[in-house]
Structure 1
Amino acid sequence: MERSTRRILAGAGVGLPIVALGARLWASQGSTPRLRDEGGRPLSEGIATLEQVRLGGVDQWLLMRGRSIHNPLLLYLSGGPGGSEMAWVRHFNAPLEDHFLVVHWDQRGAAKSYAALKDRDGLTVDQFVSDASELLELLTSRFSQEKVFVVGHSWGSILGVLLAQRRPERIHAYVGTGQQVNFLENDTVSHLHAYELAMRYGDNKALALLARIGPPPYTGPDLARRYMTLVSLASRHAGRGGLFPEMLSSMLKAPEYSLRDKVHFFLGLKETFPRVYPRLAGLDLEAQVPRLEVPVWFLLGREDYVTPSEIAVRYFDGLEAPRKTLLWFEHSGHSPQFEEPGRFNAILTQQVRTAAEARPEALPH
């Protein structure tokens, strides 16, 4: 009896520190490394911070990094809904921090802002855009700048266009990549491409999965699983292959995500996406946003079959804007910023930023 008690106590003695460590890791908010010069000294004008802010009545998280707080603001809008690309932007697009004050926002329900899911009534497209509008005011006021560059990816490209329509006076330029345009047409054409790719490569497993999930639009309790399966199949033979392990690794290693955030990274998509996705049923930017009052850049993957580029091109051709530029990424699918990051970063720093700073009469039309 005494031996058993000693074994239990010994086990507890080992287990309690582990439990305590796990609790500390779970309660951690994460951190981001300081920016330093070539000699390893912290940059006096730099910023590297994770902050919680109040947007739309709920707490949400920002990552802000830049070698100078006087550099132009760049707001990155992640794909989703419920997705966080904070770790990937840090991993693939860190050079942007030399030229911009880069702000990554975990939207309500995503990773670090997962707790905002408690406000279920706030999971509307209009509320997300309203949150983004508040964020523009917060950033321009804090850093004494009039305007912000906005980059939107996938779901974030919907928010980006709607934000540019609502707040043109606060936006230098809008940059869309993985640009979504029309909810129903997008998913229908994506399904067709996935089928064509499976047939071209003799991918019987993909064909079986496509038959199992059926054609969009998706409804019901398993809509998130069916949609994510479609995304996977539409990306299967497109763009830069073998990127997933690097993306997963960078997410798991990111110091900006605590242990809790890494769990919420997956739960955020699982729980937020099915609540917002059905609200996109009537989305058609061609009809709803035929004109923008800001310069527009579309950076499109030639092999983007998730948000099919041919739809984005049609929208771009008909869109009225002061200036607009479309550039192709020949070796990319849905995410040129991660598949061809060097070129993506160079375009933003050498072309987009420069164009916004040039005199209007010096710009090409």
Structure 2
Amino acid sequence: MIFLIIGCFSVILFIILLWYSPGKIEPYLNENNKPILGSVSEKTFVKIGGVTQGMFIKSKNSNNPVLLYVHGGPGFPNYFLVDKYKPNLEDYFTVCYWEQRGGGLSYSSEVTLESINFNQLSSDAIEVANYLRKRFSKEKIYIMAHSGGTPIALLAVLMQPELFQAYIGMAQISNQSESEKMAYKYILNKYEKDRNQKRIRKLKKYPVLQSDANILSFYKSKIRDQYMHELGIGTMHKMKSVFLGVFIPVWTCKAYTISEKINIWKSKFSFLPKTNLINEMLKTDFTTKVPKLDIPVYFFSGKYDLTVNINLSKAYLKKLDAPLKGFYTFNNSAHSPLFEEPELVRKIFENDILKNNNSLADKTLKK
């Protein structure tokens, strides 16, 4: 009897999963329920850096400026959050949500572990930018990156600034090793204040302040994400559960097929951890590697973001030499203002970034 119940439950679960996994994105429709002329809504695959890479391209008007979105992780795409929270940047841009080699749509046997490094990923970003420039007949495009994607986009702009109109860094990484130390201290202090001995014991298995190896171990541990979300300093300030906030939305995002969803998790748990990318990120001080950019620079940070420390991002922008810059603090956000305060993000794009301005930026960090 128990096997029959398990079998029935499995069949029902599979049917539900099939329903949520057509692997297609909906077109933009007019009042007559027909696709809007000039709109784009597609999932496509392009040879980038010698390997097939996937991307979603969406626009209500393909004549609009082009925005390349570089997700974080590193290597873990978050289009499922775009799909869930609908920040609607497509009102202003033709947006390309590129999924980096080795992750999401771009996970395949073509990709080697050795090719997952910032130089190659930045080269890929430049190639994607050129693909978009050619396809949509644009001299320059905008580039926006999130968290672990910010080093990739930053280096791409450094290498070929002439391709880009402006750079937007959300949860901008500067010195992530220092950020991890600050987050660890904060978490430990909170649990010590609450006298949560169980959490304290687990944290002390990773003496982060003693060696770089411990920082890497802590970064890769399950408790890092779990505790950050419990304390409101993770993906979103109000997202307390990785399971409900991340795991379930991946499986319910209709833009992916079942096999593509499986690949997202295969990449995250069995492929990307074997690469040197996280270690490379932790060992690099981007404030010294990229001290100057030749295009306008905008940083978005959530007030509660300790996943990528907001104060370190602020200090980096203050130090960074750029022709125009603006820092924007999101008072109700942690790590993902695009999904936590999308209306404010849209306002900043409309009033500042698209007008080459910084009128809405924090007053102390304008240029």
Q: Does TM, scored on the shorter chain, surpass 0.5? A: yes
Structure 1 stretch 209-218 or stretch 75-84: which is displaced more?
Answer: 209-218
Counterpart of 2:170 in structure 1 is 177
Separation in structure 2 between the aligned mates of residue 320 and residue 179 of structure 1, nearest angstrom: 15
Query: Counterpart amino acid of 1:234?
Result: M
Separation in structure 1 between the aligned mates of residue 132 and residue 205 of structure 2, nearest angstrom: 46
Shift of residue 153 of structure 1? 0.7
2:230 equivalent among 213, 232, 236: 236
Counterpart of 2:288 in structure 1 is 287
Aligned-partner SS, 2:152: helix
Aligned residues: 340
Counterpart of 1:263 in structure 2 is 262
Separation in structure 2 between the aligned mates of residue 121 and residue 219 of structure 1, nearest angstrom: 23
Structure 1 stretch 244-253 or stretch 271-280: which is displaced more?
Answer: 244-253
Shift of residue 81 of structure 1? 1.8
Do structure 1's residue 128 and structure 2's residue 125 form an aligned pair?
A: no
- For 1:205-354, list aligned pairs within 5 A: 205-215=198-208, 217-218=212-213, 225-226=220-221, 228-238=222-232, 240-242=237-239, 244=241, 245-270=244-269, 271-275=271-275, 276-354=277-355
Aligned-partner SS, 2:335: coil
Counterpart of 1:96 in structure 2 is 89
Cα gap change, 1:91 to 1:199, in 2 (>3 Å): same
- For 1:22-171, list aligned pairs within 5 A: 30-115=23-108, 118-171=111-164
**8 Å CA contact 1:164, 1:292 repeated in 2:** yes
Aligned-partner SS, 1:297: strand
Separation in structure 1 between the aligned mates of residue 153 and residue 223 of structure 2, nearest angstrom: 25
Cα gap change, 1:345 to 1:250, in 2 (>3 Å): farther
**8 Å CA contact 2:23, 2:255 repeated in 1:** yes
Gaps of 5+ in 1: 1-10, 357-363
Cα gap change, 1:247 to 1:118, in 2 (>3 Å): closer
**8 Å CA contact 1:77, 1:105 repeated in 2:** yes
* Percent of matched pairs sharing the same residue: 24
Query: Counterpart amino acid of 1:119?
Result: T
TM-score (norm 2): 0.84
Gaps of 5+ in 2: 358-365
Cα gap change, 1:213 to 1:261, in 2 (>3 Å): farther
Counterpart of 1:4 in structure 2 is none
Greater Rg over alpha carbons, structure: 1
Aligned-partner SS, 1:260: helix
Query: Counterpart amino acid of 2:130?
Result: E
TM-score (norm 1): 0.84
Cα gap change, 1:191 to 1:40, in 2 (>3 Å): same
Shift of residue 63 of structure 1? 0.2
Cα gap change, 1:311 to 1:57, in 2 (>3 Å): same
**Deviation string, structure 1 residues 105-132 (Cα, Å, up to 9, x no partner):** 1101111111156422211110000100
**Deviation string, structure 1 residues 186-230 (Cα, Å, up to 9, x no partner):** 22222112222323444444323312333163479977641x422
**8 Å CA contact 1:194, 1:305 repeated in 2:** no
**Deviation string, structure 1 residues 234-291 (Cα, Å, up to 9, x no partner):** 3422252236435444322212111112112222122214412122243111111111
Q: RMSD across aligned C-alpha pairs, in angstroms?
A: 2.9
Structure 1 stretch 202-211 or stretch 217-226: which is displaced more?
Answer: 217-226
Query: Counterpart amino acid of 1:132?
Result: A
